[in-house]
Amino acid sequence: MNRTIILLFLLIININFINAQINFTPLALDNQNKFLFNSVETVGERKPIKTLFYGSYNNGETVVNSYSFYPMVYNYSKNNKLLYIQNKIGLYYYDIKENSVKTVTNFPSFEKKNEYPIYRLPIASISPEYRYIVAKIANSSTKADIHLIDNQENVIKKVIEDVEISPGFEAAKWSLDSGYFIYQKKGSVYYFSLSDYKKNKLLNENWRWIGKTRINNCYWTKDNYLIWIENNLIYRCDPNQFFSRSIYRNYLRQGEIIGKIPFKIDANDDNFIYNDESKTFIISKGGASIFYYSLTDDIKQNPYIQLNDNMRFDKADLFTNGEGIISVDMLEIGRVSKKIFLIKKVTNHYQINEFSKPDLANSEIFGYSINEKETQIVINSSAGAFCYDFKNESLIWKFTDEPIINSANVGEANWIVGGEKLSYLIKENNKSNMPVFASSIDDAGYVKGSSDLGIIANNRKYFVDIAKRTINSTKNVDFELIKEVKNSSNRLLSREINMGFYKEAVYLKNLYSGKQIEITGIPNLKYKLYQPEIELDYKFYYSPNTEKYEIALAIDCIKTAEGVYPILKTLHNYKIPLNFFINGNFIDINKTITKIISTFDVEISNIFQYDINLTDKNILIDKNFIRQGLSANEEKYFNLTGKNFAPYWHAPMFYSNETIIKFANDSGYRYISYNYDSFDWVDKNDYQSRNNYYPTNSQVIDNILKNLKPGQVIFLSAGNNFKTRDEWLYDDFDLLISELIRSGYNLTYISDHVKKYRK
């Protein structure tokens, strides 16, 4: 009875911790030592992703291949009719002619025991002729090396060292002739010449500098020129001049000016989208203002939209005729969705209008794709995939069997749509459709009475073609999965390892010798959970001490809110316990954002009504002043949201003393101090602090991981607060979260944290 009560108590107190791990389930082992198992990726309250693996053991060697392919990133090769699929397991291509899936063998892969990543993928960049692939391979928690994969020579070589991982962004951008690629490092863009590299005359990296911009704000044209924006100037450069201009860089910079905009671009927050054929471009300023321009002065009136406070620019595509499509992130009640806008030419004017359809009214939009002719768009959503004619916006077809995560046009009226469970080939505007491969399975095993593999997904049964790794549906009533994990000499099993994101690992155990063959690999952790005081006595096994690995992350909302969007998107993806501290200035400036924050599953506490130094001798501090400053801020928050603050606070800029803390405590607010200063707030123009306290995002994350201990509270900034930095930590928030998880920490709310760690 006592053990039952203890277990129930542990379950109750753990509901506020982030649950982020990868588990493995052994499924089947046949007499030839061919085996099946699946991984189960669980992050917060997201639906688990189950990836199926099929492998074999022979002469001391194991070979493992994925047999389901979650549709995170699609890249279609028109010339080869191959659809490249990238996910956290590896990089694959689906051959439409052969109806088969194959692994890009030199790319880092879980199949080869490379570690499973938690953060958004750094997207592999594939050259236009599909011979080369540029990939980022992590060398630490925050940095990566760029590797060049030659599929023809079947080799992989490290060519660039120590770039930022930059989750969610392309590793590089290729020129149309596949002779050059550009990459980003420390806030600047550099070029890489394949011919110079092969001739062993590649210049030092500093000499290959192009400009202080982001790779996302650079574009290659069809005639092989590079276009980019820097400050308020648009540049164009012939890559044939890269080498000579680099040699004479003291006299010639890369590129020539071809355009100018009326304001400066912030490389961190602003976006530049360009189409060279139409000579049109979009500027997204601060994510909230979207401007449409043309280099040819053929637009009489430049379209412009100011997004609502709950919206921020996500991505856009411009067509060859100047029209286009824009998606924006939209913060709703406790979630992040997307909204679509269309750029259309009406008579002689361009207009930006919201795209709203009844089919999408109650669904969550995940993204969009465009056909090659730029006449159709497919919207991926929780309700399925919906294809519309761009011109008249009429519905051409819809596919609603399951939520569609991704889609790609694969020629004419054919599409691949990637669902949560299965991926489908849609032919001739949905005159026919068929599942082609699995995305995430429900169950799998050997089919009874045969050596065939079978899976169950969406409550339907499918045979798996072992050679092609694709699926075929069946109505066979005798379809039964055999899931025996032991043969005459070996047993397939999983064992708990609790290393970083890995809860378990899979092994093949010899029944006679007891020897275990590792199948799934072990994470290589740079930072590990700090808990030297732990003692594994017999009590630990009945009631493990969760306090050994809890920390709290708190977001300070002082003035501006640029970081709220990436932070809440990460919260939406990871479902993590998170804490916000808000002052009166922030509420006054960001009323809509404050209301939106209050709808998320976060804990929100008080800072103070005013952003002042409470220990300043020129300010008369008494009990009434502290009580009124806290109360006024809480009433402002309540009047806006209808909710109360949690009974916690910290002084503005953390300037406090015992008297101030006592006055606040008497007013019902408990003081929360920080344990470690991340220095993510230091202004690069503050020369007094800059030399010693101006870290990059990578350094901030590394320093946190080096110094963090269980029981601590880390405060981070929600905005730039009118300061200047080359990069802001909130843009790499998901990287910080993933590394905290890998190091073994759980996140918790301040209210739970205080009970255990504060007197």
- Say yes or no: 459 and 582 in one domain: no
pLDDT digits (tens, 9 = 90+) for 738-751: 888 888 788 889 88
pLDDT of residue 545: 45
pLDDT-based confidence at residue 691 (cuts at 50, 70, 90): low
Where are any strands of DSSP class E within 458-613? 460-465, 470-473, 481-482, 490-499, 502-510, 516-518, 550-557, 579-582, 603-606
Whether 344 shows a pLDDT value over 50: the answer reads yes
- Say yes or no: 393 and 462 in one domain: no
Whether 19 shows a pLDDT value over 70: the answer reads no
Of the listed ranges 401-410, 461-470, 542-551, the least confidently predicted one is 542-551
Percentage of the residues of the chain whose pLDDT score is greater than 70: 92
- Say yes or no: 425 and 455 in one domain: no
Q: Span 322-336, mean pLDDT?
A: 91
Helix 733-742 / helix 564-574 crossing angle, nearest 10 deg = 40
Of the listed ranges 2-16, 55-69, 150-164, 171-185, the least confidently predicted one is 2-16
pLDDT of residue 757: 66
C-alpha distances (whole Å) from 520 to each of 43, 54, 528 are: 19, 12, 20
Which of 356, 372, 399 is the endpoint of a domain? 356
Q: For residues 678 and 8, what is the distance between their CA atoms, to the nearest angstrom?
A: 37
pLDDT-based confidence at residue 327 (cuts at 50, 70, 90): very high
Number of domains in the chain: 4
Distance between terminal CA atoms of the chain?
32
Q: Span 117-132, mean pLDDT?
A: 89
HSE at residue 303, side-chain half, CA atoms within 13 A, is: 22
pLDDT digits (tens, 9 = 90+) for 712-738: 889 999 989 888 888 889 989 988 988
Is residue 373 in a domain? yes
- Say yes or no: 655 and 682 in one domain: yes
Which of 324, 341, 356 is the endpoint of a domain? 356
Sheet containing 73-77: give its strands across: 73-77, 82-86, 91-95, 100-103
Q: Span 113-123, mean pLDDT?
A: 85
Q: For residues 625 and 622, what is the distance between their CA atoms, to the nearest angstrom?
A: 5
Is residue 161 in a domain? no
pLDDT digits (tens, 9 = 90+) for 451-494: 889 999 999 999 999 999 999 987 776 788 989 999 999 999 99
Q: Between the ranges 391-405, 529-543, 699-713, where is the mean pLDDT highest? A: 391-405
Sheet containing 256-260: give its strands across: 218-220, 226-230, 233-237, 256-260
Residue corresponding to tokens 């405060």: 715
pLDDT of residue 26: 95
pLDDT of residue 581: 96
Q: For residues 434 and 745, what is the distance between their CA atoms, to the nearest angstrom?
A: 43
- Say yes or no: 721 and 573 in one domain: yes
pLDDT of residue 15: 39
- Say yes or no: 423 and 286 in one domain: no
Here the tokens at position 130 are 């599909």
- CB–CB of 615/657 below 8 Å? yes
CATH number where 732 lies: 3.20.20.370
Q: Exposure pattern of 622-634 as b/e (b: 16+ CB <10 Å)?
A: eeeebbebbeebb
pLDDT digits (tens, 9 = 90+) for 187-226: 999 999 999 999 999 999 999 999 999 999 999 999 999 9
pLDDT of residue 403: 96
pLDDT-based confidence at residue 530 (cuts at 50, 70, 90): low
Is residue 153 in a domain? no
As to burial, measured by CB atoms within 10 angstroms (0-12 exposed, 13-18 middle, 19+ buried), residue 13 is middle
Is residue 563 in a domain? yes
Q: Span 63-79, mean pLDDT?
A: 94
pLDDT digits (tens, 9 = 90+) for 235-271: 999 999 999 999 998 889 999 999 999 999 988 889 9
- CB–CB of 371/407 below 8 Å? no
Whether 394 shows a pLDDT value over 80: the answer reads yes
pLDDT of residue 574: 81
Q: For residues 392 and 375, what is the distance between their CA atoms, to the nearest angstrom?
A: 10
Is residue 13 in a domain? no
Where are any strands of DSSP class E within 619-730? 646-649, 670-671, 676-677, 713-717
H or E segment to which residue 632 belongs: helix 623-641
pLDDT of residue 306: 95
pLDDT-based confidence at residue 506 (cuts at 50, 70, 90): very high
- CB–CB of 180/174 below 8 Å? yes
- Say yes or no: 341 and 370 in one domain: no
- Say yes or no: 745 and 605 in one domain: yes
Average pLDDT of the residues of the chain:
88
pLDDT digits (tens, 9 = 90+) for 573-592: 888 889 999 999 999 999 99
3-class SS at 517?
Answer: strand
Is residue 658 in a domain? yes
- Say yes or no: 563 and 601 in one domain: yes
pLDDT-based confidence at residue 501 (cuts at 50, 70, 90): confident
pLDDT of residue 11: 33
pLDDT of residue 21: 79
Is residue 70 in a domain? no
Whether 535 shows a pLDDT value over 50: the answer reads no
Segments forming the whole domain that contains residue 609: 546-757
CB atoms under 10 Å from CB of 311, counted, come to 20
Percentage of the residues of the chain whose pLDDT score is greater than 90: 63
Q: Span 618-631, mean pLDDT?
A: 89
Q: Greater confidence, 531 or 616?
A: 616
CB atoms under 10 Å from CB of 187, counted, come to 14
- Say yes or no: 280 and 296 in one domain: yes
Is residue 411 in a domain? yes
- Say yes or no: 662 and 746 in one domain: yes
- Say yes or no: 746 and 729 in one domain: yes
pLDDT of residue 12: 33
